[in-house]
Amino acid sequence: MTGRAEHRRRSERDAVISGIGQSEVGRRLGRTAMSLTVEACLAAAADAGLTLNDIDGLSTYPGGVMDGLNPGFGGPGTDAVQDTLRLDLNWHSGGHEGPAQIQAVINAAMAVTTGLARHVLVYRTVWESTAQGSGGRQGMGGAGGGRARMAGSLQYLLPFGAVSAANWLAMNAQRHFHTYGTTRETLGEIAVNNRRNAGLNPKAIFRDPMSMDDYLAARMISTPLCLFDCDVPVDGSTAFIVSHRDYAPDVPNTAVGINAVGTALHGRPSWDQRPDMEESPLRAAADAMWARTELTRADVDTAQLYDGFSIITLMAIEALGFCAIGEAKNYLEGGHRISLDGELPLNTAGGQLSAGRLHGFGLLHEACVQLRGQGGERQVSGEPEVAVVANGGGPIAGTMLVTRGVS
Amino acid sequence: MEGHVMEDIFPVRVLPTVDRQNRRFWTSGEEGRLCIERCTDCGAWIHPPTGICSSCHSSSVEPTVVSGRGTIYSFTVNHQPWFGDIGPYCVVLVDLEEGSAAQPLRITSNLVGTDPDDVAIGMPVEVFFVRCDDVWLPQFREIR
Ligand SMILES: [Zn+2]
């Protein structure tokens, strides 16, 4: 293993997040993906004190070709956005094969640190609520309509009525319950926590209080996952400007440093073929990230961990080492540790479960908001300095440690 | 193992695109048998089929008949009406007996004929097939 992560230069520290922006977020907004995207991008550039003329890089996830399986999943690709905004670029990239959604930000940081670009605009747009709105959330591949045939790895899942990530991740949850004695209440602590935080976020979708009893009474989607274990599809776009750290002194708001990234992927990148499905593929990425920093878990002031489904968050807490694999039941008991005034305030804007499925980018946005001290009613006390963000968690994952000011 | 064909629990299924690579996996059910790709050089099982052995990188791989018996590694009972109101159905991950803990030989399928409340990890199961157009989908039932 010599020559791997621990010996690499930590070039990501030459990049900062100099600006953040987010469009209107809501259900069935009826706006186009491009309209949402432009709103977020212009907001991010302005927030960074830049004009579009300063932007010389463009990056997105998953790129413009991903709408077929899951309507509204992909926003506009980089070519469409470059054309609409008439950007002149030195570097551009869009795609979905990499360390989950956050790969678009990591790629931007690499472009900046290699000198290919100075200010990269990074965005992620979803409009699943409008695209799938009238009929509710859909299964993949047109499950109800007997649409196209399926090639690739999904052909081994979809024919069996396993047509949603809810079905696939339910089987991770079932394993975790079986092996470690985890219960629905354990997952419920995450859902209840996120809902409580959403009540303090004016942009969140679900803001009404939810008790553990409310959670346990919710209808089942795919055992053991109930409705409140699943995130809520929304329309919205989130954007960042990733700049070289040289620009940090000129950033109008607080620059957010990129301290370390975790991009490793070990084992099979598969929903159903990983030998130990109690464990997140985030484990390897998290280990790699911790090997790239002198910061420790005790330094983390808030965690913004992917919650497309509550079980992903549970496995992320374990994979990042906030507790041992299989210990989440004890760690989450009562929900105190992950509450706003706990030791690891989790998904402080309400996460995707309650604030809306901004697909990873909403979580990095909230990490920046907290590090900049702009959380309003939901601001973590004591001026948080370090946040950890995790994205993905099904077959692939990526993670990032960010700091208030340059790292 | 009697691999006879039964009525399908789904009104409609998303079906695989049958090609040279996956043909035996999706059609050997016509003969009542389940075939998984296997390396003829080192004996490793390969699923999904890729045409290359992941252990020794040999291209000498062949669809090979397995017993069709295994145990439930994990499962979920789906309640969301993706297909309209067809009631709860059970998706299972079956670890076939030809695999090992470190290198499971696992396929996703359905468990049919067992009350959803009675499904359990570790339950022994055996394959049967349902025909949908040109594919024979492996399904499993409990070995009682
Ligand atoms: Zn071999």
| A44-85 confidence digits (pLDDT tens) | 999 999 999 999 999 999 998 766 667 888 899 999 999 999
Residues of B in contact with A137 (CB under 8 A): 80
| A5-50 confidence digits (pLDDT tens) | 555 688 999 999 999 999 999 999 999 999 999 999 999 999 999 9
Tell me how far apart the alpha carbons of residues A260 and A19 are, in angstroms, rounded to a whole number. 19
* pLDDT given for residue B85 in this prediction: 86
ipTM: 0.96
| A277-320 confidence digits (pLDDT tens) | 999 999 999 999 999 999 999 999 999 999 999 999 999 999 99
Pick the more confident residue, A363 or B4: A363
| Lowest-confidence segment of A89-103, A129-143, A210-224 by average pLDDT | A129-143
Mutate to test the interface with B, among A69, A147, A178, A222 (most CBs of B within 10 A): A222
pTM for the complete prediction? 0.96
DSSP lists the bridge partners of residue A237 as A125
Tell me how far apart the alpha carbons of residues A46 and A250 are, in angstroms, rounded to a whole number. 13
Compute, in angstroms, the gap from residue B59 CA to the centroid of ligand 1.
8
Contact B22 A155 (CB under 8 A): yes
Is a pLDDT exceeding 90 seen at residue A95? Answer: yes
Question: DSSP states of A43-55 as a string?
Answer: HHHHHTT--GGG-
Residues of A in contact with B76 (CB under 8 A): 162, 167, 170-171, 174, 222-225
Q: Which two structure tokens, joined as six digits, stand for B83? A: 């297909």
Compute, in angstroms, the gap from residue B45 CA to the centroid of ligand 1.
8
* pLDDT given for residue A359 in this prediction: 96
Q: Which residues contact A244 (CB under 8 A, 6 or more apart)?
A: A14, A15, A16, A112, A113, A118
- Residues above pLDDT 70, as percent of chain B: 95
Tell me how far apart the alpha carbons of residues A281 and A267 are, in angstroms, rounded to a whole number. 8
pLDDT category of residue A134 using cuts at 50, 70 and 90: low
Q: Would you kindly state where each structural domain of chain A is located, as residue ranges?
A: 2-132+232-404
Domains and CATH numbers, chain B: 23-142 (2.40.50.840)
Residue type, B77: V
Cβ A147 vs Cβ A163: under 8 Å: no
Helix axes A33-47, A78-85, angle to 10 degrees: 70
* pLDDT given for residue A15 in this prediction: 98
Asked if A138 has any chain B CB less than 8 Å from its own CB, the reply is yes
Report the pLDDT averaged over residues B59-82: 97
The CATH class given to the A2-132+232-404 domain equals alpha beta
pLDDT category of residue A141 using cuts at 50, 70 and 90: low
- Each residue of A73-94: b (16+ CB within 10 Å) or e? bbbbbbebbbeebebebebbbb
**Chain B residues contacting A, CB < 8 Å?**
10, 12-17, 19, 22, 47-48, 73-80, 82-84, 89, 91, 93, 101-104, 106-110, 116, 121, 132, 135, 137
Tell me how far apart the alpha carbons of residues A64 and A116 are, in angstroms, rounded to a whole number. 22
Query: Within 13 Å and on the Cβ side, how many CA atoms surround A49?
Result: 12
Cβ A12 vs Cβ A259: under 8 Å: yes
* pLDDT given for residue A261 in this prediction: 98
* pLDDT given for residue A1 in this prediction: 43
Asked if A140 has any chain B CB less than 8 Å from its own CB, the reply is yes
Q: Which residues hold their Cβ within 5 A of ligand 1, which is an ion? A: B 39, 41-42, 44, 53, 55-56, 58
* pLDDT given for residue A2 in this prediction: 43
Q: How many residues does chain B have?
A: 144
Report the alpha-carbon angle A271-A259-A15, nearest 5.
100
Q: Which residues contact A135 (CB under 8 A, 6 or more apart)?
A: none
